[in-house]
Structure 1
Amino acid sequence: MSDIPLPQLSQMTAGVLTRLSKLRRQVTTWFWVDGLSRLAWAAIALLAADLALDWLFRMDKPQRAVMLAIIGAVLLYIVFRRLVKPLSATISDDALALEVERLNPHLHESVISALQFSRMEDLSERGYSPVMIRQTVQRGATASADLNFGNVLDDREFRVNSMLLLFALVLLGALVVGTFTNPLLNIWANRNLLLGDKEWPQKTYLLVERAENGKVVFPRGEDWTQLVTVTKESEVVPENVSIEFRRARGRATQTMKKTGERQFEAIFASVIEPFEFRAQGGDAYTPWVQVQLVEQPALDDLQLEVVPPAYTGLSPQPLAAGRGPYFVLKGSTLRLQGTANKELTKAELSYRLQKVEVIEPPPAKPAEKLAEGDSTEATAESSPAPTKPEPKKTRTYEVERHTPLSITEGMKLKGELPPDEVAGTQYTILLTDTLGLTSRRPTTFGLRIRADREPRVRARLIGISGMVVPKARIPFSCRVTDDFGLTDLRAKFRWDLLAQGGEDAGKSSGAGEIPFESLKDAFQGKPPGELALDEAIELGPHQIPTGSGLTFSFVAQDNDNVPDEVGAPVPNVGASSDFLVRVVTEEELRTDLLRREKEQRQEFERLVKSEEELLTDGQALEAATRDVAALTQEQKDQLMQMQKRQKVYGTNTGAIGERMANILIEVENNRLEEANGKLQGRLQEIIKPLRELADQDMPGLVQTLDQVRRQAAAQQPRNEAITTLLKQQEATIAKMKQVLALMVKSEGYQEAVNLLYEIQKSQQDVLDRTIKEQQERIKKLLEGAKPAESTPPGNK
């Protein structure tokens, strides 16, 4: 018995799989019957609705096409939803088995277990008991042997669907036959399935006059009278016929006027957009008629060209189409030319302008004579003071202009606007064609006036601080640019006395202009667009008193000669920033220069000390690294810091030299002494070594420090470089001390000079006061008055 082979697990479930396959075919048949039934009845319902709608509302061809598309879309959706989607889904054996067990709970999942275990291989390797698995499969196959798997389907619903499908197919067959035998169904099939032009049986037939191929032509923007006629084959002539509109704004229907026994008319006023209409009267509906409009005259092409004012020297410039509003210079001329879409009889340019009118004031009336009995002091020579004339006033108003444009070749036009007609406004081109039609949507373009910018003036003073003496010269560098050309450049100044007293007590301010004669030739002929001027302003001829605040700027004028609203040319004027200086006495300026010189000396003293400290650091570094093979990272960082400090000292030394040079230039510009005077000589003795220190000595120290840092790992070259560095530093410090000594010497000399000036000024004050006192005493004696005792000037 043990030698009899046991059947395989898959053979034990073969019967179950066969019945599941049969169930799958039954499910497919069920889906086919259900889907086709729904599809057939949906088609019947949609076709019936389509027939009813077309019978009641007389749908036109586009509407019938839409309905046909809707029917097709709905049927396709049903096919996809009820046939394609269910039938394309694959139902597995496990899913069918689970459905069978759901309706037969007593199986306790034995069928699905048998199916799944029968597909498994190598049970012993997976740790399953073969005997137990075989028993499970055998139990599942045995438990399902007597079951009818087809019970999972609803037999009653299947029978109902089958009957409905059969009945629907009969109806559809009858419909197909009826389209050939029944006149109404034949008309419906022609209209709604074939999209033909057959009409439903009716008692009235209407004809839209002058319509060809479903179209009628209207002139755009004009009134149009449309006629509709009741045909002779009509049994009933309706009393009222109306027009239905489609794709027309603001219109729905319009009642036609009866003008004859079988004729009606409707007036379409000012038609400017295409639309569709049909006539309805009695039981008749005409097909929809499309309105085509005749274009009104319009421009197909417009070219604009602006001619800038002559002073600009620019050539005519075209204006890009459709890029408006266009910005043009004031005083430009506008040229235009274009091509219309049809022949024209008239073309003009319409626009509105702002005009300015000068209102002359009435003549001044003399004051009325004194009434009789008034003041008796009036004499024959006395005359009443005239009334002050009123200033001129202007009135701004707007005018509308229509400038004709010339027409050539019937369709081309051109014209030109003079400068006084080119303004910042909207321009409209009005056209009239041979039929007398005008532009309903005329071509427009806008202009904006672009201002000619004033000249840009940049100026700076050279060698002048905030204080000058009355006889000083003020060097400057001025750069002027303009878009088109310059015609004048001058300096304008104003002074205001800050503290009145002395001889200038009665005069507190003044102003003036300084033209530059050297520019006279530059402004002849074509004015330059760019100008560079390096000159000096002499203050002496303008006699500006000391103690005044002087404000001046450089003012440039361009070559804009376009007249303004009242006819006067107004060039553009640009100015530089204002410069403010104080006019002081020579003593005050010398005192200020001495103060600034002391500040530079004090700052240089700090640099000398810093350089000595740097020398000490170098000596310490030399002692610490003399016998070492390589520098540590800390020593390298120290060298780097020393190098940075030395660069800063060099920069600061150069700055002190530049400030001392500025003091020297101020001495020269303020004419504190003759050329090559002692003060200038001492300053030059200081400035020259300062510049050598900043440009040669200290950069040399920086290079040597860098060499030491680069030789950090080489003992002998490094020691040699450090020795060279220390010698350079000592020489530099000695040179700095020499410069410092010169600074101290110069300060002492300048203090002595300032003291002498103060003594001289005090003596002059005493002398002036004595002379004034003497003059007052003499005046009183001559007038006979007893002179009052006065204190001597020196004792006040």
Structure 2
Amino acid sequence: MSRIKQHPQSQQLEQALLELGLRMRRQHIYRGLIQLTYTAFAGLVVFFLVDWLTNMPYAVRLCAWVAALVYGIVWFIRKPLRASRQPVDVQQIGLLIEQRFPELHSRMISTLQFQGENGIGKGMSVDLVEGVLDQTFHQLPNIKMDSIVDMAALKRGLKYLGISILLIGAAGGIGHAYFGAFIQRLVMPSAEYPTKTQIVEVNAPEVIPIDTPFSMHIRAGGRIPRVGHVEVRNEEGFTSNIELSLDKGANDLFTVEMPGLSEPATYTIYLGDAQHGPVSLTPVARPHIKTLTLEVVPPAYTGEPREQLQTGSARVIYGSVLTLRIEPTQRLKTLELVSSDDSKELPTMTRTDNGAWETTLSARNSLVYTVAMVAETGLSNATLPHYRITVRPDKAPVIRITKPSLVNELAAISKLPLAFEVNDDFQLSDVTIFYEILQSGFLGEENDKPRQGTVFKRIPVTGKKLQFNGFWDNAKIQPEPGQQIRVWIEAQDNYVDGTHLTRSNDFTVTVITAQEYRTMLVQRLQETVDPAAELILDVRSSKRKLQKIDKQ
């Protein structure tokens, strides 16, 4: 093989062809990006029009734009990006140049081959080949090799890009509110297109009590109609419409009275061309008392048994300890006892580990109270039941003297029948007979000095009732004639806050001499005998008259 000399411009040619190949590779990226961009812009405008006209569900919108995004990325990777990564072949580029410029037909490829092989085959003239090379390199300065880069496709893509930008600009400029809403609807399920009527604000309770009507306030804007309606749909699909009308004296506010709900439902507001909803409503039960237990522990001295009542009302003994335990139907934030008398403070209810609430109070005064509950949902019990605690006081003992009379005369050594009865509601602790000797003339006078009674007899007691039948015996105190004795009875119980003391009415005994007492007894006997004698005479007279009548 004969060798030919290396032409001085051969390296420059190869370098120029390599750069040209790199430009062509970049051209694939540019065209792909431009095509992807104007297709995305045009598709976005078409998607906007279709969504605006059909109001597509969020799931369809999401699937559509995600699918388009994935398709665009896959297309770009498989076509423009793959084409841009193809290796640069200078002979292939030379062939493209020969196709573009016919005057270089077979010259560019031959030049590249001869320069690459540094030799020629047998039968070929070296001078002839070198002459062809010289002619080729001589023609290259007059050839615009970069014209093989297809700029027409790039310019066409830029034209389409400009048109798509104009479309996007027109959509955003003419209907900026609608197009802005469309962009939000791509990612936000609750975004809606603006309407001529706008529902600006809807105020509804966050928690709706079950079977309880509630109010909903709606503020509108834009072109506001005078009427609308609210559609309520339950889980079974049954619907009901509630009329919506402007509030009296207002020009943008609507108030609707919603019926009580017993099951979950949804509501949708229709006002003009605006729609709000559907919004879910789940009614929540109000808290109420599941179980209520009142444990009553009477004071120990009464001997009364403790009670456990299934109610909040009771009649209890003064000083009893009451334990109120309430189990609600749901977890509560607060539970309070509220007195009907604001001046009375009731103890605080505390929550136990098992969710019940309880408190303890001492029965000192009667009271009427209610139970106010607030659940963790914020709902309170609708009805406040009234309960009454009636405190029965521990009364003082009652003394009733049956014998003797209030004023009596008795000799110094004589006895007088004494009978009395003492009753207490729970337990007697002490019954004592007292006396006080007074000088004649002082009886009936009262002064501020405390009585200085002397114990005549202390009677043992074990229950709440005492019956005494005995005698007052002057001989035990040995009074002198002319003295007066004031006698009374005192009874005490075992009341929790200190004993109750009851003092009976007084009866008096005037001490007389034995002769005076004998005379008094004779007079009393005479007063008894004389009427008896007269009665006997009357009986005899009546008997004689009856006998005379019988004889006739």
TM interval, shorter chain, is 0.3 to 0.5
The alignment's TM-score, normalised by the length of structure 1, stands at 0.34
| Greater strand proportion | 2
Q: Which has the higher contact order (CA 8 A, sep 6+)?
A: 2
**Greater share of residues in helix:** 1
TM, length-normalised to structure 2: 0.47
